[in-house]
Structure 1
Amino acid sequence: MHHFQTKERILKLAREAGSLSFRGSEVHIYPDYSAEVSKKRAAYFTVKSQLRNAGFTYRMFFPAKLQVTDKHGQKLTFSSPREVSTFLASNLPGTSLTPTASL
């Protein structure tokens, strides 16, 4: 949104409402990230896909850190896609995984 005050009001109302839904589906409203932060988060796209395919769960932290829950329930936090790729390679023997972008 180009109107800062309108955007801030929508974010405030969304926080106050708690949960929002539209036609039975839950809706989440988040503030925009800067171009720099968006680029850093986008660099994880390939490794997130590989994590999903391998059955790992994960979540992103601001600005661009990825927390992975391993098969034993241990939570590991990574600061770059390359670190996640190394983790995947060591946890999936015989697989060569490399991220398309690294920071």
Structure 2
Amino acid sequence: MGDAERSLTACSDDIETLKREVKRLGVLADSLQNKCEDLESRSRRNNIRIVGVPEGPNSCSTTSVADLLQEAFNLADAPLIDRSHRSPQPVPKQGQRPRTIVARLHYYKDCATILSQAKEKQRIKVKGVTISVYPDYTAQVAKARAAFNGVRQQLRGLEGARFGIAHPARLRITYNGTEKSFLNPEEAQAYVTQTITPHAARTDRQMPS
């Protein structure tokens, strides 16, 4: 019995030690993952994604992409592009959507200018085709931003509400002079439903017909 008790005590001590070690390693893994995500996001800071450019010889060369962007956004000079390539997917068949072009601009100022105009124009007609230009987010950031789509759609119909997403995925809502920031879509949805929507509904009822 004494030997069994000593063995059980030793096992219990080992288990507690392992629990603390697993917890420490979990915190370390989360920290390393966040750092890797931050580094990848920073490495894409000057990248843009161009959707809608037909497949073809040299269609994604740096010269072709620079000329396309200059014409699409009425730039005084063609932007300097370090490199550009199609997304790593199988070549589409006839009639299928062309692969996205990923381009890295040399100067961040050019990247910011293009993305700002692209956000206003949304779909741009150039060289007989319609293209769209977006930031090049990591998969995790893109997923986190997409989680707010439902809340943003609801806010578009509410008068007096202004909103936007700050990098990487923080939703900012301004209503009646009060600004709120949310990292969690559920919290943002609850705030809109409980605070903004009822007030907006009362405002609509009070408007003269």
TM over 0.5: yes
* TM interval, short-chain normalised: 0.5 to 0.7
Give the TM-score of the pair, scaled to structure 2.
0.35
2:168 is the alignment partner of 1:63: yes
2:129 is the alignment partner of 1:52: no
1:42–1:11 Cα change, 3 Å: farther
Q: Which amino acid aligns with 1:82?
A: E
Gaps of 5+ in 2: 1-48, 50-59, 63-80, 84-102, 120-132, 199-209
Q: Which amino acid aligns with 1:34?
A: T
Name which one, 1 or 2, has greater alpha-carbon Rg: 2
Cα distance, 1:16 vs. partner?
A: 4.6
Give the TM-score of the pair, scaled to structure 1.
0.66
Runs (4+) off by over 2 Å: 1-5, 16-20, 26-31
Aligned to 1:15: 109
> Residues 1-103 of structure 1: matches in 2 within 5 Å?
5-6=82-83, 7-8=103-104, 10=105, 12=107, 15-16=109-110, 19=113, 26-27=117-118, 31-55=135-159, 56-70=161-175, 72-91=176-195, 92-93=197-198
Q: Kindly indicate whether the alpha-carbon contact (under 8 Å) linking 1:11 and 1:30 is maintained by their aligned counterparts in 2.
A: no
Higher RCO structure, 1 or 2 (CA under 8 Å, sep 6+): 1
1:15–1:41 Cα change, 3 Å: same
Q: Which amino acid aligns with 1:65?
A: R
**Identical aligned residues as a percent:** 27
1:78–1:15 Cα change, 3 Å: same
Q: Kindly indicate whether the alpha-carbon contact (under 8 Å) linking 1:43 and 1:81 is maintained by their aligned counterparts in 2.
A: yes
CA distance in structure 2 between the partners assigned to 1:57 and 1:74 by the alignment: 10
